[in-house]
Every structure is written in C-alpha cells, then in structure tokens.
A and B are shown apart, each in its own frame.
Chain A
Amino acid sequence: MSATTQSNLETIKDIKKIMERSSRFISLSGWSGVAAGLCALLGSWVAFNRITGYLEGTGSSAGCAVCLENELIAIAAVVFIAALASAFSFTYIRSKKDGAAIWGSAARRLLWNTLLPMIVGGILILKMIDLKYYDLVAPATLIFYGLALVNGSKYTMGEVRYLGYAQLITGLLSLFIASRGLYAWAFGFGVLHIIYGAAMWWKYERNDQ
C-alpha cells in the first residue's frame, strides 16, 4: 500500500472517530448495567416477599391492599433511584478515565431521547395503577424502557439497541403471562441488564485496566 493511500485511510479513520465521539456518548460503562441489574434483582426479591406476605396474611401489609400498593410503589422508586445512581457513578468514573466530558451535547441528546419515552410511559403507568390495571404494569414498564433504549441507542453505543429489543420482547411476552409480571420484570431489568453490562465490559473495558 502506498504512503498516500495509507495517509488517506488514516484521515478517514480520524474523521470517523471525531464524528462518532462528537455525536455519541460512549463512556457508558458495562459496570453501570451490572449494577442496575443487581438493584433490580434485589428490588424484585423484596417485592416478591411483600406480595407473598400479603397473600399469606403474614406480612406488614397483611389484609391491606392499599398498604401493599404503596409499599410496591416505594420499592420501585427506591430501585429506580439506586439503579440510576449506581449506573451514573460507574459511567462518571469511566468518563473521567477516558478524559471525555460527561455533560456534552451528546450526553444531553442521549438523556432527552431516553427520558422522553420513559416519562410518557411513566405517566401512563401511574394512571394504570390508579385504574388498578396491575397486570399491565410490568409489561408496560418493560415496553416503554425498551422503546427508550432503542431510541437512545443512536446517541450512545449501538449495542444498547439490542438490549432495547430484548426488553421489548420480554415486555410483549409478559403481556401473555400477566400474573407472572414480577418474574418478567426481574428478568428484564435484572438479568438482561447484567448480561448486557458484562458483555459490554468484556468487549470494551476489559483491556482498559
């Protein structure tokens, strides 16, 4: 290969790298996925115990459906905040290590494009709880989260798209196993996150150590 061709190829690689780095937020750490997944599994386990406690009449909310509902909403909120905080921390650490800005226009676009479907879905789900359509809550959270990931994947690592598809499939399947919503939820938010996080760590961060 001639020297000019070599340098032209280098130039094209540079262009590609800058286009990607300027339009995608690529510091998302695999550990963020693993941490969010662990939070979800822990939360599902606590929720599972509360529900069995209610059904067997032994738990703190025995015989009180409203207490159980409030407890479950509180658990979901704590899990969401813990997952978000731990995911953010690992990504923050990685972006510091890479020397990339965490709050650039790429991060802003990623945030907006994932938050929009999640906020819209969140409002719909609160209304479902209000109307006591409990069976739809787990499928709906998974479906809207999946849509958020597919939408956001254009602004971060492309692999996020596959996690999104997997969440969408889990959500749609769980529509047909309605009373097992918690299992679908634990699988989607727990297991899938951990698999995705581990795979991403293996692919991108393993050699950074």
Chain B
Amino acid sequence: MNNATNQMKNPIQHLNKIFDSRIRLGIMSALAVNDEVNFNELKELIDVTDGNLASHLKTLEDNAYVKVEKGFIGRKTNTTYKITKAGEKAFRNHLDALEKMIRSIG
C-alpha cells in the first residue's frame, strides 16, 4: 500500500501523540499565532497551575517543538516561549490529520 492511500485509510496514525494533551495543544495554538508568549500569558490563556504548565512546556521543549528564552524585566524574570520550525510542522500535520478525520466522516 502506498503512502497516500495509507494516509486516507488511517488518518489516526498521523495524529501526534504529544498533542493528545489539551494543555500542550493549547500551548502550541497560542505559540502558532504569536511571535512569542511569556509564561504568565500562557497560564492565563490556558487556565492551568504553574507546575502543570511548566511540566507540559518541558515535554514540548524536550521534543524541540518549543524554545525557551529567559530574560528579565527589571528584576523580575520573564521567560518567553517561541515555536520552532519543527514545532510548526508537527502542529500543522496534526491539524491536517484532524481535518482529514472529520472530513472522512462528514
């Protein structure tokens, strides 16, 4: 079976396991449309606790989907996050797979 038919028959395998979590998907959504987003803005947008957000960000960072920049505003630390090229690609593929799944049924 070639790749194209394979993809049509079973789009589920193109869904990215890393994006199973609503929080990780939320982080990627925010980073996809913004040059950079800081920790507190992400926390407010997705409505999660510090620890929870930090651990999901770590997973995305370990997969090289997100890069972290630590800076300062005055004396306060300001950690901002950006999406990487690999992250953009993975997120787009995930959205395409979701779209195909919905289309194949509708």
Contact = CB atoms under 8 A, between A and B. Distances in A.
Interface residues of B, number: 20
Q: Is the interface of B mostly helix, strand, loop or mixed?
A: helix
Interface stretch (A4-12, A38-46, A66-74, A193-201): A4-12
A173 interface: no
Given A4-B101, A19-B30, A105 B41 contact: yes
Interface string B15-35: 000000010011001101110
A1 B29 CA distance: 25
B46 A18 contact: yes
Contacts, number: 54
A11 B46 contact: no
Contacts of B32: 19
Given A8-B101, A8-B102, A15-B95, A23 B45 contact: no
A75 B19 CA distance: 56
A22 B41 contact: yes
Contacts of A100: 44
Given A15-B25, A19-B29, A22-B29, A105 B105 contact: no
Contacts of A18: 26, 29-30, 45-46
A5 B101 contact: yes
A60 to B, nearest CB: 49
Interface of B: 22, 25-26, 29-30, 32-34, 36-37, 41, 44-46, 95, 98, 101-102, 105-106
Interface of A: 1-2, 4-5, 8-9, 11-12, 14-15, 18-19, 21-23, 99-101, 104-105
